[in-house]
């Protein structure tokens, strides 16, 4: 047995962590994952701050999927305080959330294609992503951290001219992404490096509690939390899933989810056109405890909060999807023939390290004590 370190700085890693691959000859058999390179302690920083400041911190839990964090933060507060937001705001949240899901999935696919040395397809994906980024900027004024959600609704409305532009750009984008999917499905190099590599069987999904596209590629469509969200139910959302459980299936789930996101945006725009009134309500924030879950682009994201009357955050806990998917990665190594396949399999789970690194543990007398717990 030998050990090969990957990271914390490596060309294929978007964010720093160290993977210690255990090899039997050339074949990976296990992995030890070391984290802690980008910890920022956002949960602790939020404590004692007003929720209007907290929502800006929530947006900085992650860069690529920043929007879903503000949406989940706001909906958790609205759930605790029993705030009903206007229909316009509900549909605008879906539109902007699905635009961000598309941009996240395209980055994930581009990084995966780079890991299997298909640079042409990777650059094509990043170029097509610019269409979506332009729409996000047009709606919110920003390309990444949109600062669009507020408690009680959204910050900016859209007009007829913007709606026409969204429809036009979606038609252009959909044609491009269908061509990309065809290339991915039929490419011999992609098949050689992706099919039957990094398989995660159904029973090991249940053991590791994997979530998001990782989970749905192994036969669990019901894992998508959009099925439980009232607005998505109204829009007749249909989850995308496959059964192969390999790298190819995980990437195809993301590609097909992009097309489902386009459909959802079009339908949300149709419903939006029938709405009247404001895009936000004056929110009276009431104290209490609550939990809210949404389907982030990598899987289930959970916000558990306790707030005071008026909106001071007493305690907040955030669980993001990568922590479960990293555990599943170790099981995928069983069907990785080489170190190169172990690297591409890692990118196929689309890990987000900054999302995951928020927990601090203090070791006292050989025991780990989470921060926020009264020390004995």
pLDDT value of position 37: 78
pLDDT of 74 higher than 90: yes
Q: Are 232 and 226 in contact (CB under 8 A)?
A: yes
pLDDT of 43 higher than 70: yes
Residue 240 CA to residue 260 CA, distance in Å, equals 8
> Tokens in use for 8?
């914390």
Q: Where are the domains of the chain?
A: 39-369
Q: Are 80 and 309 in contact (CB under 8 A)?
A: no
pLDDT digits (tens, 9 = 90+) for 257-308: 999 999 999 999 999 999 989 999 998 999 999 999 999 999 999 999 999 9
Number of C-alpha atoms within 13 angstroms, CB side, residue 375?
Answer: 10
9 is in an annotated binding site: no
> Tokens in use for 224?
């998508």
pLDDT value of position 362: 57
Kindly report the backbone phi and psi dihedral angles of residue 275, in degrees, each rounded to the nearest multiple of 5, phi listed first: -90, 155
Residues 335, 320, 146, 347, Cα dihedral to 10°: -10
pLDDT digits (tens, 9 = 90+) for 250-264: 999 999 999 999 999
Query: Which residue has tokens 């390999």?
Result: 246
Q: Are 251 and 115 in contact (CB under 8 A)?
A: no
43 is in an annotated binding site: yes
The overall average pLDDT reported for the chain is: 91
172 is in an annotated binding site: no
Residue 4 β-bridge partners = 21
pLDDT value of position 5: 86
Number of C-alpha atoms within 13 angstroms, CB side, residue 286?
Answer: 8
- Of residues 172, 39, 183, 14, the one with CA closest to residue 104: 14
pLDDT value of position 16: 83
Q: Which of 24-28, 261-265, 318-322, 366-370 has the highest mean pLDDT?
A: 261-265
Q: In the chain, where does DSSP find H-type helix?
A: 42-46, 51-58, 66-81, 87-115, 119-140, 160-186, 188-194, 202-208, 212-216, 230-234, 247-273, 322-332, 339-348, 353-356
Query: Which residue has tokens 């581009």?
Result: 110
What average pLDDT does the segment 170-198 reach? 96
What average pLDDT does the segment 204-231 reach? 94
Residue 304 CA to residue 313 CA, distance in Å, equals 11
Lowest model confidence (mean pLDDT) among 92-101, 255-264, 322-331: 322-331
What average pLDDT does the segment 12-32 reach? 86
117 is in an annotated binding site: no
352 is in an annotated binding site: yes
> Tokens in use for 198?
């990094």
Angle between helices 247-273 and 160-186 (to 10 degrees): 160
pLDDT of 44 higher than 90: no
Q: Are 88 and 95 in contact (CB under 8 A)?
A: no
Asked if CATH classification 1.10.645.10 holds for the domain at 39-369, the reply, yes or no, is yes
Task: Please provide the DSSP assignment of 17-44 as one string.
Answer: -EEEEEEETTEEEEEEEE--SS---HHH
């Amino acid at each position: 047995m030998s050990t090969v370190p990957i990271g914390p700085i490596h060309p294929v890693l978007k964010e720093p962590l160290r993977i210690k691959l255990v090899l039997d000859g050339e074949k990976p058999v296990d992995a030890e994952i070391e984290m802690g390179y980008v910890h920022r302690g956002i949960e602790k920083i939020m404590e004692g701050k007003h929720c209007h400041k907290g929502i800006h911190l929530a947006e900085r839990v992650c860069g690529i999927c920043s929007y879903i964090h503000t949406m989940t933060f706001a909906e958790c507060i609205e759930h605790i305080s029993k705030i009903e937001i206007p229909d316009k705001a509900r549909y605008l949240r879906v539109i902007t959330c699905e635009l961000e899901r598309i941009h996240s999935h395209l980055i994930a696919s581009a990084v995966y294609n780079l890991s299997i040395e298909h640079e042409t397809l990777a650059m094509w994906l990043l170029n097509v992503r610019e269409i979506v980024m332009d729409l996000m900027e047009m709606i919110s004024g920003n390309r990444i951290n949109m600062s669009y959600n507020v408690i009680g609704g959204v910050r900016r409305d859209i007009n007829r001219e913007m709606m026409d532009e969204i429809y036009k750009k979606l038609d252009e984008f959909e044609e491009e992404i269908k061509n990309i999917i065809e290339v991915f499905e039929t490419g011999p190099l992609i098949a050689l490096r992706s099919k039957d590599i990094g398989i995660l069987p159904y029973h090991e999904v249940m053991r590791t509690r994997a979530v998001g596209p990782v989970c749905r590629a192994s036969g669990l469509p019901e894992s998508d939390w959009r099925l439980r969200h009232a607005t998505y139910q109204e829009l007749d959302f249909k989850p995308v899933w496959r059964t192969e459980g390999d790298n190819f299936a995980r990437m195809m789930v993301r590609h097909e989810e992009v097309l489902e996101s386009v459909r959802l945006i079009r339908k949300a725009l149709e419903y939006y056109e029938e709405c009247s009134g404001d895009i936000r309500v004056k929110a009276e924030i009431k104290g209490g405890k609550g939990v809210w879950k949404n389907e982030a682009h990598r899987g289930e994201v959970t916000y558990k909060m306790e707030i005071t009357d008026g909106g001071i955050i007493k305690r907040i806990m955030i669980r993001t999807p990568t922590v479960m998917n990293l555990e599943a990665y170790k099981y995928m190594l069983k069907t990785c023939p080489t170190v190169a396949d172990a690297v591409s399999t890692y990118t196929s789970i689309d890990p987000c390290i900054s999302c995951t690194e928020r927990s601090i543990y203090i070791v006292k007398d050989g025991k780990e004590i989470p921060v926020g717990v009264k020390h004995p």
